[in-house]
Amino acid sequence: MQIPFVNLRRQYEPILPELQSSLIHLIDSNQVVGGEAVSSFESSFAQGIGVGYAISCASGTDAIEVILRAWNVGVGDEVIVPTNGWLSVAQVVCLIGATPVFVDNHPETYNLDLDSLEKKITHKTKVIIPIHLYGNPVEMKRLVKLADQSRIKVLEDCAQAHGASVDGKKVGSWGHAGIFSFYPTKNLSVLGDGGAIVTSDEELASQCRAIANYGQFKKFTCSVMGRNSRMDALQAKVVSLKLPHLNLWNQRRQQIARYYSEAWEDLPIQLPVNNDKSVWHLFVIQTNNRDGVKEKLAKCGIQTEVHYPIPVCQQPLFQKFRDSTGYANAERQAPRLLSIPLYPELTDLEVEYIAKSFRKVIERVAPSHQLDR
C-alpha cells in the first residue's frame, strides 16, 4: 500500500464538476481578478469566523506583512514570535525593519509558552503573533489578557487552524486581527496560493485592503505605500466550494487523531495533546530515532514529513536575535518531531494500515526505549 502525506486528487474529486463549471464561467465573465467570486468568499469567510471583515491576499505571508504595515510596525519595535513553526512570521518582522523576539514553545502543546512569553514583554513590544500550531489553538484568554495589560496588539496566525475554536469562539476572532493561509496542504485550501486577513476593526480592514491593492483607497489614487497582493477569482471560487465541507473534514481529522492516539498510547513515544479543540492540521509525534522511523515507514509505503527540522531561532538569518539562554524545548524536540499522514480523504483501511505499520516500526526500531524528556 502506498500512502502519500497529502492526496490532493482525492480532495478535489467531490467538487471537480462544480470547479470546471466555475472556471468556464469566470473566463466567460472576464472577471478573473477580483469581482463577485472574491467578495462573496470574503463575506462568507468573515461570517464563519465571526468577524466583521475578511480581506483576501495572495498568501498568508503577505497577510502578515500587510497587517504589520497597517499598524505602522517598523524600526525600533519588537514583535514576539514563536521559535517553533514556519519561518515566514519572523522573516516578515525582519522585512519591515522590526525585531523578532523569540519565545520557546510549551513542551506538550508546541505553542507559545505563555510563562516564557510574559518575561519577554518590554516597552518596545508592539505585537504578539501566536501561531495555532498543527491546528491546536493557543490559550487565547490568557494571552489576550497579557497583551491588553501592556496595550500590545495580538495578531493570530491561523494558517494551520481553519475552523478551530476556543470556548466556542473561532480562532482569528480573539486577537485584534488574524491571518489565514490557503496553501494547498492546509485544512482549507486553494489550487495554488492564497491568504486572508480577518478583523472586526473597520479602519484596520480598510487600511489593509488598500495596502494589498497598491495603496489605493479608491481606484487610480495611491494614498499609502502599498503592494499587489490580491487573491484571483479562481482561487476564491475554489476555496468557496470547499468552505461548506470544512467542518465535516475537521471532524474526520479529529476521528483519525483519536484512533492514532488510542492505538499508540502504550508506545515509547510522545503523542500530541489530544483535545477536542484541535483541528489536527498535523499529527506530530516525538521519537528518539526519528530518521530511522521515517525511513522504515517509507519502506512500508507511508510518506511522513518533518515540521520543522530547524527551529526558527536556529536559522542562519535569525542567529543575531537569539536569546543567550537558548530555547530548551524547541531545540530539544526538533530532532525528534515526525508528522504522520492525517487528512480527511484517508480511508479506514489506510488509517488502520498506518497504525499497525507504525506500531511495528517503533517496536523494531526503538523497542522498550522510553522517550527522554
Kindly report, residue by residue over 63-122, the tens digit of the pLDDT.
999 999 999 999 999 999 999 999 999 999 999 999 999 999 999 999 999 999 999 999
Question: Tens digits of per-residue pLDDT, 334-367?
Answer: 999 999 999 999 999 999 999 999 999 999 986 6
Is the preceding omega at residue 308 within 30 degrees of 0, hence cis? yes
Supply the pLDDT for residue 365: 84
What is Dmax (Cα atoms) for the chain? 68
Q: Tell me which of 244, 260, 285 is where a domain ends.
A: 244
Question: Based on the domain organization, do 21 and 43 belong to the same domain?
Answer: yes
269 and 190, same domain (yes or no): no
For the record, the C-alpha cell of 277 comes out as: 479543540
Reduce the DSSP state of residue 228 to 3 states and report it: strand
CA distance 98 to 368: 47
CATH number, residue 81: 3.40.640.10
Tell whether 370 is covered by a domain. Answer: no
The total of other beta-carbon atoms located within 10 Å of residue 27's CB is: 12
Let me know whether 253 and 271 are in one domain: yes
Same domain for 209 and 273? no
Q: Where does residue 135 fall: left (phi above 0), alpha (psi -120 to 50 degrees), or beta otherwise? A: left
Q: Give, in degrees to the nearest 5, the angle at Cα 106 between 176 and 248.
A: 65
Has residue 373 been placed in a domain? no
Same domain, 189 and 263: no
Per-residue pLDDT of the chain (373 residues; tens, 9 = 90+): 999 999 999 999 989 999 999 889 998 998 888 899 999 999 999 999 999 999 999 999 999 999 999 999 999 999 999 999 999 999 999 999 999 999 999 999 999 999 999 999 999 999 999 999 999 999 999 999 999 999 999 999 999 999 999 999 999 999 999 999 999 999 999 999 999 999 999 999 999 999 999 999 988 889 899 999 999 999 999 999 999 999 999 999 999 999 999 999 999 999 999 788 999 999 999 999 999 999 999 999 999 999 999 999 999 999 999 998 889 999 999 999 999 999 999 999 999 999 999 999 999 986 655 666 5
Q: How far is CA 193 from the centre of its chain?
A: 13
Q: Residue 297: give its domain's CATH number.
A: 3.90.1150.10
Name the residue with cell 480523504: 345
Strands 216-218 and 221-222: antiparallel
Q: What is the pLDDT of residue 131?
A: 98
Q: Are 261 and 255 in contact (CB under 8 A)?
A: no
User: 33 by DSSP, 3-state: which?
Assistant: strand
Instruction: Extract the C-alpha cell encoding 294.
Output: 521515517
Q: Tell me which residue of 334, 252, 312 sits closest to 88, measured CA to CA.
A: 312
Query: ∠ CA(194), CA(51), CA(92), 5° rounding?
Result: 40
Q: Which residues pair with 83 in a beta bridge?
A: none
- Cβ-based neighbour number of residue 373 at 10 Å: 7
Let me know whether 360 and 218 are in one domain: no
User: Considering its fold, how many domains does the chain have in total?
Assistant: 2
1 is a domain residue: no
CB atoms within 10 A of CB 265: 10
The answer to whether residue 372 sits within a structural domain is no
* Rounded CA separation 361/40 (Å): 48
Pair (95, 234) in one structural domain: yes
User: To which residue does cell 479608491 refer?
Assistant: 218
Same domain, 174 and 251: no
Residue-number span of the structural domain to which 186 is assigned = 8-244
The verdict on 141 and 159 lying in the same domain is: yes
**Nearest C-alpha neighbor of 184 from the set 131, 228, 242:** 242
User: Alpha-carbon distance 361 to 358, whole Å?
Assistant: 5
If asked whether residues 208 and 261 sit together in one domain, one would say no
- Residues 161, 149 share a domain: yes
The alpha helices in 184-289, defined as continuous H runs, are: 202-211, 233-242, 246-263
List Cβ neighbours of 347 (8 Å cut-off, separation of 6 or more): none
Q: Measuring CA to CA, which residue among 111, 113, 124, 66 is closest to residue 92? A: 66
DSSP 8-class letter at 137: -
Q: Which of 244, 267, 285 is the last residue of a domain?
A: 244
Of 79, 124, 122, nearest to 318 (Cα)?
Answer: 79
pLDDT, residue 274, reads 78
Domain co-membership, 119 together with 56: yes
Domain boundary among 206, 224, 244: 244
pLDDT on residue 369: 54
